[in-house]
Chains A and B, each alone.
Chain A
Amino acid sequence: MKYLKIIAWLSLVALVVIQLFPVTLNESDTVPQNDFMIVNQVPATIKNQLQVSCYDCHSNNTEYPWYSKIQPAAWYLEDHIQEGKDELNFNEWDTYSSRRKNSKLRSIIKQIESGEMPMDSYELIHGDARMDSTAVKEIIGYMDSLRED
């Protein structure tokens, strides 16, 4: 019983100590000229869906829920967002060459079609990020219309 108490205290202390590590938040209040929405003049319904379902991890601005600013959740998210932005950053869309845009569009379509994106763990917390079959169809149709070949 005594040991249990010590362990409980130690983990509490650890929890406090890890809060000391700084987090780099993915936040920006300017919308760059290279943004996917601006370059393509995306229609409102699709714009809204992309914003809710994709932009938290694939742009320079994440809308953080309160708990995500606390460790260790913040670490977990930081990694995910970095990885997401490396793959695809909608804010930098127009800096991609047309070859690369085509590649990205193709990957976007494949990932949404197969249900790999948005990620399950993300949908679990953000119910509104989930796309129903109509939304999936709409988004895929739109992305397909942007492809060049």
Chain B
Amino acid sequence: MKTVKRTIGIMALAATMVLTVSCKDGNKNESTAPMSSEMHQESMDDKKDMAMNDNQDAKAEAILKDYFNLKDALVGDDNGKAKELGNTLAQSLKSFDASNYSDNEKSELNDIIEDATEHAEHISESDIKHQREHFKILSKDVTDMVAITGTKTKLYEQFCPMYDGGTAWLSKEENVLNPYYGSSMLRCGKVQREIN
């Protein structure tokens, strides 16, 4: 009796398997876009709408503020804090709205923001070595952004010839504190340009 049951069981399983395979093919084209990303998108849009009336400068200044906080975390070799601040910066970047700029500036700004957002997001999930690699390009993006948006703050573009064939970053202070090396070579670099 026991063997009969087992045989029936195995046959049922085999039948299910055959059915499954045909089912699966039928569903091949079904889209499986994850729900979470849609919801995420929605909340992003809300944020954008709410901030629409804010003045442009304030948005650029917010991005700069987040950038400097992130820089300070890297100067302090603080991986965890840099992750958090990378995320904060990514949010500020996403809420930037270039619609009041001329067509050329708009397309340039949108390119910058898109690229910078990607780097900020990577920083929010990487180890410190990777964070610094992304910070290099992020710094270039933010510098190019400031060239278009301008800023009220006096900025210093600093340069370290040792990191990755020579690398720049922005600072609010003239005093050099190196975000690419942190404590291991804190003073490497010099001011190469003043903005404002």
Contact = CB atoms under 8 A, between A and B. Distances in A.
Interface in B114-165: 114-115, 118-119, 133, 137, 141
Contacts of B23: 20, 22
Interface string A41-69: 00000000000000000000000000000
Identify whether the interface residues of B are mostly helix, strand, loop, or mixed. helix
B13 A97 contact: no
A103 B118 contact: yes
A98 B108 CA distance: 10
Contacts of A19: 17, 20-21, 24
Interface string A79-98: 00000000000000000011
A126 interface: no
B119 A103 contact: yes
Interface residues of A, number: 17
Contact of B17 (A16, A22, A24, A103): A16
Contacts of A23: 24, 28
Q: Is the interface of A mostly helix, strand, loop or mixed?
A: helix
A16 B20 contact: yes
A118 B39 CA distance: 32
Contact of A12 (B13, B114, B118, B137): B13
Interface residues of B, number: 22
Contacts of B115: 97, 99-100, 103
B62 to A, nearest CB: 21
Contacts of B111: 97-100
A99 B13 contact: no
Given A13-B13, A19-B24, A24-B31, 15 more contacts: A9-B9, A16-B17, A19-B21, A20-B20, A22-B23, A22-B27, A25-B28, A97-B114, A98-B111, A99-B111, A99-B112, A100-B111, A100-B118, A103-B137, A110-B133
B30 interface: yes
Interface of A: 9, 12-13, 16, 19-20, 22-25, 97-100, 103, 106, 110
Nearest to A5: B6
A22 B30 contact: yes
A24 B32 contact: yes
Nearest to A19: B20
B16 interface: yes
30 contacts: A9-B9, A12-B13, A13-B13, A16-B13, A16-B17, A19-B20, A19-B24, A20-B20, A20-B23, A22-B23, A22-B24, A22-B30, A23-B24, A23-B28, A24-B28, A24-B30, A24-B31, A24-B32, A97-B111, A97-B114, A97-B115, A99-B111, A99-B115, A99-B141, A100-B111, A100-B114, A103-B118, A103-B137, A106-B137, A110-B133
Q: Which of B9, B24, B27 has the most CB of A within 10 A?
A: B24
B147 to A, nearest CB: 13
Nearest to A20: B20
Contacts of B27: 22
Interface centre among A22, A25, A106 (most CB of B within 10 A): A22
